[in-house]
């Protein structure tokens, strides 16, 4: 926590030096939650956490291509503790300087940021570089220290490096090869673990015909010598308003879970595999009505596991120039094992978003095949209403009530103040 506060202080302290920025953007959301938790057999408990989310973007610094981006949050519990940790908490999600080159989509980042490149999805304190090369090639590199969790200082390695090389044929093909290495990871009590995480992988986008696209990636864990994942998606769009998709996923958990810091939960030592496949259909009946249906079969191979069908559908309405949006959905998780529960999920929601006022209603319920703690179902209703005091300053409040197997009743209120400021008009708001 102290480390995070230091980082946030450092980040905020750097702001005055950048105050001459041409463009300033601030996103601030203040949330106060008021919750009453009623656990069977225990005294009711009130929790009142106050959370501040803050994002700052300074653009057009220096020669106009330099920018600074920051986002984080801090929380104070005003009544009982809201989590198992302390009464205060905070996190710096990212704080980095970025330099965007006018050509080749070149980008250099320095600081704390997230990287999504091929098989890599990492948060690190370090540097990243990317750019488009001639003849359709692209390249990216990153390196630094992985951002650690509060719970222990040893669940991540001392450094992480990686990158991706891609090749594109305009409108038809993109293939990529990516790699990642995290060094000096903690092996804990398990003697046969490697003290590094190392993955290599490939990704593809292929559009052989106008109406067909294939996307996907595979990753190979070189620390455990095995393929961790194959995930592929095929999209077929025979008509403008009709989309059909098929997906296939294959995981070897020995290799996929190898780098977890929760080995008791994600146990990679059982030699299990998981394969899933399915598809979906989406049809826009008329501009305001979108109907979709999906199905997924999950085959979990290993002791005490089985197969599950997941399927369902959703109808979405968009009316009055998108001011009114609504949807209803039904989904089912149906396991073939008696000791794994199954459930139905039903949801309905509606939203009205006008210039000054906005309001929404949301209801969700689950019906279980086997009762959990004597309850066969749960439900939650959420109502929300808000007013835009200024175009970029809005106040809103939610009230939620639910019953579930854990709690006799759960009553929650949320007060929310949102301020989105930009010093200049830069096109669409982000």
Partner 1 sequence: MRRIKLLSLCAAFAGAMALAACTHVISQETSLPSWHPEALGEGRVDCSECHEDKVKGVLKPYASFSHTPVFVKNHRFYAGEDGRLCATCHKPSFCTDCHANELEIKPSIRYGNRPDRELVHRGDYLTRHRIDGKIDPTSCFKCHGRTNNEQCVACHR
Of 111-170, binders to partner 1 (CB under 8 A) are 113-114, 116-121, 123, 130-134, 136, 147, 149-151, 155-156, 166, 168-170
Beta carbon nearer to partner 1, 260 or 423: 260
Residue 280 makes contact with partner 1 by CB under 8 A: yes
In the set 200, 340, 393, 411, which binds partner 1 (CB under 8 A)? Answer: 340
Beta carbon nearer to partner 1, 233 or 411: 233
In the set 47, 382, 411, 417, which binds partner 1 (CB under 8 A)? Answer: 382
Q: Are 403 and 409 in contact (CB under 8 A)?
A: yes
Tokens 């992985």 belong to which residue?
A: 146
Stretch touching partner 1 by CB under 8 A, among 13-21, 39-47, 53-61, 188-196: 53-61
Touching partner 1, residues 178-207 (CB under 8 A): 203, 205, 207
DSSP, res 153: T
Beta carbon nearer to partner 1, 222 or 379: 379
Residue 396 makes contact with partner 1 by CB under 8 A: yes
Q: Are 49 and 58 in contact (CB under 8 A)?
A: no
3-state secondary structure of 5: helix
In the set 227, 277, 330, 358, which binds partner 1 (CB under 8 A)? Answer: 358
Residue 341 makes contact with partner 1 by CB under 8 A: yes
Beta carbon nearer to partner 1, 9 or 370: 370
Q: Alpha carbon of 144 to those of 35, 123, 336: distances in Å?
A: 40, 9, 45
Residue 362: closest CA among 414, 429, 408, 405: 414
Touching partner 1, residues 84-113 (CB under 8 A): 84-85, 89, 91, 93-94, 100-107, 113
Beta carbon nearer to partner 1, 10 or 104: 104
Stretch touching partner 1 by CB under 8 A, among 10-18, 39-47, 187-195, 323-331: 323-331
If you write DSSP's letter for every residue of 35-47 in order, what string do you get?
EEEE-TTS--EEE
Long-range contacts of 287-295 (CB under 8 A, 24+ apart): 287/318, 288/317, 288/318, 288/319, 289/315, 289/316, 289/317, 290/315, 290/316, 290/317, 290/318, 291/315, 291/316, 292/316
- The count of residues in the chain is 430
In the set 34, 277, 406, 423, which binds partner 1 (CB under 8 A)? Answer: 406
Strand 196-209 with 212-221, pairing? antiparallel
Cα angle 180, 186, 188; round to 5: 140
Beta carbon nearer to partner 1, 18 or 26: 26
Touching partner 1, residues 228-267 (CB under 8 A): 231, 233, 235, 237, 240, 243, 245, 247, 249, 251, 253, 256-257, 259-262, 264-266
Q: Are 128 and 142 in contact (CB under 8 A)?
A: yes
In the set 277, 349, 367, 419, which binds partner 1 (CB under 8 A)? Answer: 349
Q: How far is the CB of 19 from partner 1 (least distance, A)?
A: 20
Q: How far is the CB of 100 from partner 1 (least distance, A)?
A: 6
In the set 11, 24, 33, 312, which binds partner 1 (CB under 8 A)? Answer: 33
Burial label for 263, CB within 10 Å (0-12, 13-18, 19+), is middle
DSSP, res 98: E
Residue 31 makes contact with partner 1 by CB under 8 A: yes
Report residue 124 as tokens: 């690190």
In the set 8, 174, 220, 221, which binds partner 1 (CB under 8 A)? Answer: 174
Residue 402 makes contact with partner 1 by CB under 8 A: yes
Burial label for 164, CB within 10 Å (0-12, 13-18, 19+), is buried
Determine the Cα–Cα distance for residues 37 and 53; give it in Å rounded to an integer.
Answer: 24
Q: How far is the CB of 302 from partner 1 (least distance, A)?
A: 10
Residue 22 makes contact with partner 1 by CB under 8 A: no
Task: State the Cα torsion 252-256-257-258 to the nearest 10°.
Answer: 110
Q: How far is the CB of 51 from partner 1 (least distance, A)?
A: 6
Residue 128: closest CA among 178, 175, 84, 82: 178
Q: How far is the CB of 162 from partner 1 (least distance, A)?
A: 12
DSSP, res 4: H
Report residue 89 as tokens: 């908490």
In the set 142, 180, 221, 366, which binds partner 1 (CB under 8 A)? Answer: 366
Q: How far is the CB of 235 from partner 1 (least distance, A)?
A: 6
Residue 305 makes contact with partner 1 by CB under 8 A: yes
Burial label for 255, CB within 10 Å (0-12, 13-18, 19+), is buried
């Amino acid at each position: 926590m102290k480390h995070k506060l230091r980082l946030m202080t450092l980040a905020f302290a750097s702001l005055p030096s950048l105050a001459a920025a041409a463009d300033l953007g601030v996103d601030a959301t203040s949330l106060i939650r008021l919750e009453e938790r009623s656990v069977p057999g225990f005294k009711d408990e009130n929790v009142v956490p106050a959370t501040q989310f803050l994002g700052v973007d300074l653009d057009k610094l220096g020669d106009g291509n330099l920018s600074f981006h920051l986002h984080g949050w801090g929380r104070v519990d005003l009544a009982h503790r809201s989590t198992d940790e302390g009464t205060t908490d905070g996190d710096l999600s990212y704080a980095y300087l970025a330099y965007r080159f006018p050509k080749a989509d070149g980008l250099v980042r320095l600081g704390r940021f997230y990287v999504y490149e091929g098989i890599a999805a990492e948060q690190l304190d370090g540097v990243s570089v990317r750019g488009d090369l001639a003849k359709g090639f692209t390249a990216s590199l990153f390196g630094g220290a992985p951002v650690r969790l509060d719970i222990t200082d040893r669940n991540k390695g001392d450094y992480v490096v990686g990158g991706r090389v891609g090749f594109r044929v305009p409108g038809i093909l993109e293939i990529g090869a990516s790699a990642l290495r995290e060094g000096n990871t903690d092996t804990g009590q398990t003697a046969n673990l490697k003290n590094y995480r190392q993955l290599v992988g490939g990704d593809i986008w292929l559009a052989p015909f106008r109406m067909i696209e294939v996307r996907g990636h595979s990753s190979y864990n070189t620390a455990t010598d095995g393929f961790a994942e194959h995930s592929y998606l095929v999209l077929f769009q025979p008509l403008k308003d009709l989309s059909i998709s098929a997906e296939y996923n294959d995981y070897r958990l020995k290799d996929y879970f190898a780098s977890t810091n929760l080995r008791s939960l994600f146990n990679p030592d059982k030699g299990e595999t998981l394969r899933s496949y399915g598809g979906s259909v989406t049809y826009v009946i008329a501009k305001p009505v979108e109907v979709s249906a999906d199905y997924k079969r999950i085959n979990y191979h290993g002791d005490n596991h089985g197969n599950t069908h997941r399927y369902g559908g959703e109808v979405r309405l968009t009316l009055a120039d998108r001011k009114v949006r609504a949807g209803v959905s039904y989904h089912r998780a149906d396991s073939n094992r008696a000791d794994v529960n199954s459930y139905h999920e039903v949801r309905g929601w509606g939203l009205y978003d006008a210039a000054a006022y906005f309001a929404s209603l949301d209801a969700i319920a689950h019906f279980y095949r086997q009762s959990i703690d004597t309850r066969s179902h749960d439900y939650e209703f959420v109502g929300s209403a808000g007013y835009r005091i200024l175009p970029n300053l809005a106040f809103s409040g939610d009230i939620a009530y639910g019953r579930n197997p854990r709690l006799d009743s759960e009553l929650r209120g949320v007060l929310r103040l949102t301020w989105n400021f930009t010093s200049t008009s830069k096109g669409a708001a982000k």
